[in-house]
Structures are given as structure tokens and as C-alpha cells.
Structure 1
Amino acid sequence: MTLLAKFQLLVLALTSGLAVADFRSDLTGTNTLFPNSDGYASASQAYNRRFSRQPAAIAFPSTPQDVSAIVQAGAANGMKVVARGGGHSYIANGLGGENGTLVIDMSNMKAINIDSSANTVEIQTGNRLGDVATALNSAGRALPHGTCPYVGIGGHSAFGGYGFTSRQWGLALDPIYAIHAVFANGSTVTATDSTNSDLFWALRGAAPSFAITTSIELHTFPVPSHAIGFSYSWELDATAAGQAFLAYQNYSLSGPPSVMGSELNIGPGSSRGSISVSLVGGWYADESSNDGLDAALQPFLSQMPEPSSSEKLGNGTYIDSVVQFGGSLDTSAEPDTTDTFYAKSLMTTTGSPVSADAFNAFAKFLSEDGFDSETSWFMQIEQYGGPNSAINSVPSASTAFFRRDVLFTWQLYASSSNSQPPYPEDGFTFIDNVVKSVTDNMPADWDYGAYTNYPDDRLENWQQRYYGSNYDRLQQIKREVDPNNVFEFPQSIEL
């Protein structure tokens, strides 16, 4: 090594040390974990243990002012900054997606302020879905959201947020009427339809690329007077499964009542050549019997063989239906679980639905290659749209969430056999080929999307798949509000 090279390495080491020292001093007075801190190893563990990240620091603000100070410290020291709410990012974006990021963990910011006179709520983004459902139910109110209690409301609503009530109430981001956030320069901002409207548009579908959201204000919905879950299960050969998938698509296109949401859950069969299929969902009608549900399901069930099992789930109350799908809603009672997995998604449209050939190829692949796979896998076909769906009633350009013409969102998910690392290489091949079994049997120019709440680090052309024609506007706003790209992570909006 030359003398010049040694000198350059010495300067780099010295200046790096000064940068770290400055960074630490800038965060003095904040509750922050550094790599040598007690608790750092646990706090930096990803939900998906396929990823291992080493953040430069993990800060725990208690107020929006704390968030502002932390963002300023990160930006001043040239660091990338991300927020973590629930921590369920499939590709560890809540830890920055790479080493050396400043993570702002929102878990101390858990206020939920309900205005019963206006039927609105302000929710800080450290809350998880179980916390939100419990608090709102106590006031007789509810929001559309997913079933997992540990998912953070911040990320969930930032990128969409689907649940069984979404066909009547919309996505989790749809009831939002105000967002409080911190810019990359540390300034605080409130965004609404009339104030900072461009930012408000961007935050509803791509929020983490533009600001750190500290709280959201939403219109709430009255808790349904009657709510019940349902489940029907079959074991089908590949031919019957392909027919079932096509029947479910035709049923969804026919416009089931908006008070019902459902999905198909798919798993390995008991023998090669078969797969298990379950119809699961919720009924949220203002009635005291299940007669309406039975009539609503009849057009689909009449096309299916006799189920191996069927049941109604719950005692008829809305909050019990939430428990039936998610388990305990008390997220403080025990720690969240982790997994080691790879997932992809498809969003298929009402205007260009999936062909019988594609459904048949999908079913055949799962019944054969799925049975042979050493991964632990499940697939879901979630009923987003069709006639009567509130999701579809919002124009694609109204929010940054673009995929409003969707009929189904597919989640395609495979874990390592014991849910622990390392992840098997053939797991990637298996899930990639599941997608190809569908897309290779559709026209070459078939317009399908992918769901930003199921992020996929191997997804090609993610800009189009996630954001479609909204992406150009998102880039323009990004250049205006975060010109130095402080809020950068894998698949963040590019400058």
C-alpha cells in the first residue's frame, strides 16, 4: 500500500469517527440505542429473519418534537432515515433495508384520541391494529384494516390497508382526512385536501418516501350491529381447484353484497396432485341472523362440491369477529412472532380477469411442485373489488394508491420449513414460478399490479407494478419535499 493510500485510509477513519461522535452528540437527550447498547440486538431484529440489518441507531421518540430533532440529527450527519411502526415490513424496510440507517421507532407514540361528537379519531403511528380496534370498539366505532393485530397502523395505512370490511368501507387509507408529519429538514407539517394537498395525495399510498408520519386523523364507522365470520374447506384435485378459482372470480365479478368480504386460502393437499382450499371471510350486516350471509354465499357454494368442513365464527359482535381472525388484540401481552420467508403478490383487475388456462396452470403447479416443495407455504386470493366495492369507487388518480381497478390481490408466501434462517434457495424459485404459472398463461401485455404492503425485493419494474401512472407525480413531489433523499430505502420513490 502506498503512503498516499495509507494517509487516505487514516483520514477516512478519523473523519468517520468524528461523524459518529457528532451523530451521537446530536442525539443526546433522546432515547436511542446504538450498536453497543443493551437491547440493540433485540430491537434491530427483523420480522422477516431472511434479513439481518445493522442500523446506525434506533431512536424512540415520544413526541413529534422528538421526531423532528431525530430527523434533523440524521440529515445533518448524511444518514438515511426511516420510521418503524409495527415492524412487519416483508423486506425489512422498517430497519432501512440496508445497514447504517437511522431508524425512528414509533412504539412510544401510542395516543388514540377519539372525538365521539364528530365520529373521528387521531391515531399516533406507534399503534398497532389490535390497539386501534380495541380502543375504537370501546366507543362503538371501527375502521377498515387487516386481521393481524401486530401490524402497525402507520405502514398499513400508508400503503393501502385491506381487510374484510374494505368492500364496504374502503382501504385503511381512505378514511384519512389529515396527516401530521415531519419533513426531512425537521419541520412539522399537516397535510389535508386543502392544505399541502400534493403532499396529502402522496402520503396516502407512499408516505414513508416523503416524511415521517406522526399521527393520522380519520373518519370512523359505526360498529356493525351484527358481525360473523365464516369458513368452508375442501381438498381438491388440480382440475377441480382450477374450476373453483374461476368460479370464485365469476362470483366476485357478479357483485356480492358490500357487507361481505372474503378470500380463498390455499395450502398443500394431503397427497401429490391435490391442494387444500378454504373460503374465509366476514359478514357485517345490520341483522340478527345469518340468513343474508347464506343467501349471499349460495351462488358460489352451489358451484362447489360438499365442503369437508364449514362453520360460522364468533358470537355476533364486531370485536369478536376481529378476534376470530387475528387472535388476541392485546399486543403488549406477548412479543410479536417472527418468520423467515419470501413473498410475492399479484393484483388482478376487473377489466382483465384471469383466464381459465391461467387458473388451471396455477392449480396444477401448486398441486405438484407445491406438494414437493420443502417450504411451508400458503397462498391467498383476496376479494378486493368488483361491483359494490368501496375500494373500486375511488379513482386511481385520487390518491397515490393506484390499483383501484383490482378484483383480487394475491399473496404468495413461503417460509423456511422451521421458520428460521437460512432461507432455502429453492424457496425463491418456487414462489417466482407460482407467479409465472399465472402470468405466462396471460397475454404478454397483461396489466397486473403488485401490492406495496407485500413488498418484494426481487420484483422487476416495481415502479409500474406498484404505482402505475401515478409514479411520475410521486417523483415530482419527492424532488420538492425531500431533495436530498433523506427518506430512502429499497423501493422508495426515486428522485
Structure 2
Amino acid sequence: MGTERFDALREQVRGQVIESDDPEYDEARLVFNGMVDRRPAAVLRVSQVADVMAAIRYAHGLGLDLALRGGGHSAPGFGTVDGGLVLDFSARRGVRVDPARRTARVEAGATWADFNHATHAFGLASTGGIIGSTGVAGLTLGGGIGYLARKYGLACDNLVSADVVLADGSFVTASEAENADLFWALRGGSGNFGAVTSFEFQLHPVDMVHVGLIFYDAAHGVQAGAAYREWIASQPEEMGAFYGFHQGPPVPFLPEEWHGRPIAVVGGMWTGNVDEGPAHWQPMLDAAPVLGSMFAPMPYPALNIMFDGLNGIPGLQGYWKADFLRTLSDDALRVAVEYAPGIPTPHSANHFYPIDGAVQRVAPEATAFAHRDVGFSPAIAGQWPDASENESNIAWVRSYWSALHEYSEPGGYLNFQDADDLPRIEATLGSNYARLAEVKAKYDPDNFFHVNQNIKPASVTQAAPAAPTLPPEAAPTA
């Protein structure tokens, strides 16, 4: 089936080209965020790198917008685009581990669950996300916060090389030795510079870890949060844990009367000697009255997928906001406690991730991720199933973010931002924005890769094509 418009592309690729009259179209056009309902002209299910090269030349030649979809988790829905071509990498999920070199080569459609499953067989890991279904590609290109960041740095800090198809359809490898400026830009500059078809990561010895979850009444959130602030700063870098606010999840170690009620939580893992784990968690058990807790040694991949049943469900309506905090101050904690009763659903979360340890030992100019001197990355992730509640839930996220923003630093973590954060892109990329714009001008002077948190080429004076926006109900208000 299909139209003559894409017949020439079909002749050049091995992957399936899906158009609106194909039976697979409605499934093929979906992304993780159910709020995003776009209709691309075609979706190419990528089979191999040659498909990517051909498709980019084809789309560029016809002036088609191009969207790149790895895991599909982008909150703004940048993995699809109205009227354009989507390169869907979901079938390209291979992970090849070299245990002798402690590296892994990962295809662009792999998730962190795929990655961790492959590397754990060798007792190895690298910094990944909090949700297993998150794509390796998007998270790494935006920086890559995870449980292992305090010990081993961000995901982008562990990137050794990347294979990239540029806007003219040519193929290059980016590393410290080859195309070093492109390699620099990929580590935090998102998908602005090309289509990355594979990533090579440095791995580290991580096997069994001691996992902890501690729940408190959200009303005690300032007390518990202040204790967490001091505790995480004093802990060895083997401790990776976030602080946050949720609706109480339906788990057996939380009393049923607290299911669905606002709670504060500390969650994460101790990656040192498993037997030492309980002693390291004890200060947070003493920090405030505990509603429930869970501690257990488990394989690292098990922690990475632990929250997928709540936060990793495709099709939920979603809206996100983010900032950076110099410190998790009592003022910021009071704002969090004030807004905790409005958390929309058990699928939603407000987390504060520590930015310290190995992350801060990397110079701000060493990679495109410049914010190496902040203390925490807050994420306000609203997710809910009912589209009729979009207006009220989006309003809660925005109001919370606005109140927290008073205590925040300029910019915010790119991977936690939504489509209406695009005007903040210079602050988001901070001191590295001008250099990123120069690299963009070198590798993508026409701004072909613009369906993203877009960096305009330094040489472009006219307005670049706009990134897709959220549906009308999610559009920014004055």
C-alpha cells in the first residue's frame, strides 16, 4: 500500500515505510505521551544504517520535517511530527558488550532495560535512567541523570564514541579522536546535530546493589528533605538516591490507608558492599516518622525497572517542567510540601536528583552539559490517563514550577523539559550555548534537525522552523 510520494524511498531502504492508508499506521505514529496526537506523512521502521542515510537524503531533498524516535519517551513528543517523516529505531535494540575493554556498543532504539540486561550478564553497568523503558539515545544526548551518576558521572560522561548520520546523509564517527567537536556537542546538546545510529559506552563493575525505599507523610517533607540534603552530601558516592513526592503507591510495605495520599520518598541504591547497605540507609530511617520502607539486595537491572509499572506506561497524558537548584533549600522543600496534595495520580512524580560527586568533577566546558556546579535537578512529571483532566493537571504542574522557580538557577535539565520550554534553550544550555550554535552551523547549517529542543545554527539570522508544540489544551498561557 502507500502512495507514489514515498515509492522512491521504498526502493532505497530495507525497512518498512508506513503511510496513513496502511493498517499499521495508527500504531506506528504513537509515542509514549498520549497527549501527543500527530500525523506524520510516513514512518520508516529503520532496518539498518543505510536506511537512515537514504531517508535523511530523501527528506532533506523534499524539504520534509524529520523526527527521530528511539525509546519514544520524549515528553514533548519529539519522536513524531505532523506531515513529515519519522525514523523509528525501535527495531534496532542490539547491545554488544566487550567485557575485556569494559565497553558496550548500543543501537539507537535500545532502552535502558535492554542495555542493563546485556551488561549485567558481565557484572557491568553504566549510568542510565530511572525508568527501564526510557531510550538510551534520548537520555544520553540530553545529559543522562541516573542512580550511578554520583559514582560514575552522567550517561554522556560515559560515552566513548557515536556513529552519526549527518544532515547531508553522510556517515561519520564522533569521538575524542574523530570529529571531536561533534562528539563534544552530542554530550548534552540533544539530537540537534544528526541521527545517532549507535553509541559506545564505558562500563563499570556494578552487580548486586542494596536497594532502599523509605516513605514519609508529605506533611513531614521539609524535615525529611532537610535530613536527605545533609545525608546525601555526606554519603560516599556509592550511594545513589533521589528525594521526591508522590501519591502513595499500592505496595505491600505502605499501609493501605496511605495509598493515593501525598507522601515523601527517598529511593535508590547502595552500590558498595551489599552487607554495608543497611548502615548507610539508617540515617534516613531516623530522619522523620516512617510510614513504610523496603530494603533488599537485588540485581541493578531490577531497580531500573522497579517503577516502570507506575511511571513507564505508554499512552498516559503527560506534561513536564524542570529547573536546577543550587541547593535543596528549606524554601524549595516548603514549596514541594505545599503542592504535594495536588499530585495528579500515582503515575506522577516530583523528584529532586543530586548533581554532585563525579558529575561535578567534569569541567562545564568539557561536554555540552554545562551545569556542573548546581546541587539538584528537580523534575515535575505530571502523568494521568484521562484527557479531560489535562487543563487542571497542566495548571498544577505550571503553578508548582512557577513557585519553585523563585529558588532556582537559570536553565533546567533538557530531558525533563516540555515543548513550551524551547524559549529557555539558551539558559538550559548555559555557558555552552554559543559554542553549540557554532557546531550546529558546521554540521547542520540549514537546521534540518529541528524537531527537538532546538539550537539554531550560529549563521542563521532568520527564524528557524519551529519545533512541534503541544496540543491547544497544553499551550502556554500568558
Q: What is the TM-score normalised by the length of structure 1?
A: 0.83
Contact 1:49 1:420 in 2 (8 A): no
Distance in 2, matches of 1:354 and 1:382, equals: 8
Compared CA separation, residues 447 and 354, structure 1 to 2 (3 A): same
1:235 is matched with: 217
Residues 435 and 361 (structure 1), Cα distance of their counterparts in 2 relative to 1, 3 Å cut: same
TM-score by length of 2: 0.86
Q: Report if the CA contact (8 A) 1:82-1:208 is conserved.
A: no
Kindly tell me: are residues 376 and 430 of structure 1, through their superposed partners in 2, closer, same or farther at Cα, counting changes over 3 Å? farther
Deviation of 1:348 after TM superposition, in Å, equals 1.2
Instruction: Give the deviation of 1:324 after TM superposition.
Output: 4.1
Unaligned residue ranges in structure 2 (runs of 5+): 249-256, 458-478
Larger radius of gyration: 1
Task: Work out whether 1:104 is the aligned partner of 2:111.
Answer: no
Q: In structure 2, do the counterparts of structure 1 residues 113 and 32 end up closer, same or farther at CA, with 3 Å as the change threshold? A: same
Report which stretch shifted further, 117-126 or 66-75: 117-126
Q: 2:319 maps to which residue? A: 342
Structural mapping, 1:294-305, within 5 Å: 294-305=278-289
Aligned-residue offset at 1:70 = 0.8
Instruction: Find out whether 1:158 has 2:141 as its counterpart.
Output: yes
After superposition, the Cα gap between the structure-2 partners of 1:261 and 1:461, relative to the gap in structure 1 and judged at 3 Å, is same
Matched-pair contact (CA < 8 Å) for 1:82–1:212: no
Find the counterpart in structure 1 of residue 37 from structure 2: 52
Question: Which residue pairs with 1:181 in the alignment?
Answer: 164
| 2:330 is the counterpart of 1:356 | yes
Q: CA deviation at 1:161?
A: 1.8
- One-letter amino acid of the structure 2 residue matched with residue 154 of structure 1: A
Shift in alpha-carbon separation, 1:324–1:257, aligned structure 2, 3 A: same
User: Which structure 2 residues correspond to residues 402-441 of structure 1 after superposition, within 5 A?
Assistant: 402-416=370-384, 419-440=385-406
| 2:413 aligned to which of 451, 476, 480 | 451
Q: Does 1:317 align with 2:299?
A: yes
Q: Which position in structure 2 is the counterpart of 1:168?
A: 151
Structure 1 residue 207, shift from structure 2 partner? 3.8
Residue in structure 2 matched with residue 383 of structure 1 by the alignment: 353
Q: What is the aligned partner in structure 2 of residue 140 from structure 1?
A: 123
1:250 alignment counterpart: 230
Aligned partner of residue 194 in structure 1, secondary structure: coil
Mapped contact 2:214–2:285 kept (Cα < 8 A): no
> In the alignment, what sits opposite 2:57?
72
Residue 393 of structure 1: how far off its partner (Å):
1.3
SS in 1 for 2:156: coil
How far apart, in 2, do the equivalents of 1:392 and 1:34 lie?
46
**RMSD after superposition:** 2.4
> In 2, Cα distance between the equivalents of 1:374 and 1:170?
32
On the 8 A contact 1:27/1:73 being kept in 2, the answer is: no
Aligned length: 442
Distance verdict in 2 for CA 1:448–1:301, change over 3 Å: farther
Please, which of 239, 242, 265 is the counterpart of residue 278 of structure 1? 265
Paired letter, 1:470? N
1:130 to 113, 118, 126: 113
* Separation in 2, partners of 1:427, 1:41: 26
- Does the 8 Å CA contact 1:340/1:423 hold for their aligned counterparts? no
C-alpha displacement at 1:167, in angstroms? Answer: 1.2
Kept in 1: contact 2:43–2:88 (CA 8 A): yes
Identify the residue that residue 448 of structure 2 maps to in structure 1.
486
Further displaced range: 319-328 or 127-136: 319-328
Distance 1:72 1:94 in 2: 19
CA distance in structure 1 between the aligned counterparts of 2:48 and 2:414, rounded to whole angstroms: 28
- Give, in whole Å, the separation in 2 of the partners of 1:476 and 1:457: 23
Looking at structure 1, the residues matched to 182 and 176 of structure 2 have their Cα atoms a distance apart, in angstroms, of: 9
| Identity across the alignment (%) | 27
Unaligned runs of 5+ in 1: 1-19, 329-334
| Cα separation, 1, equivalents of 2:338 and 2:197 | 46
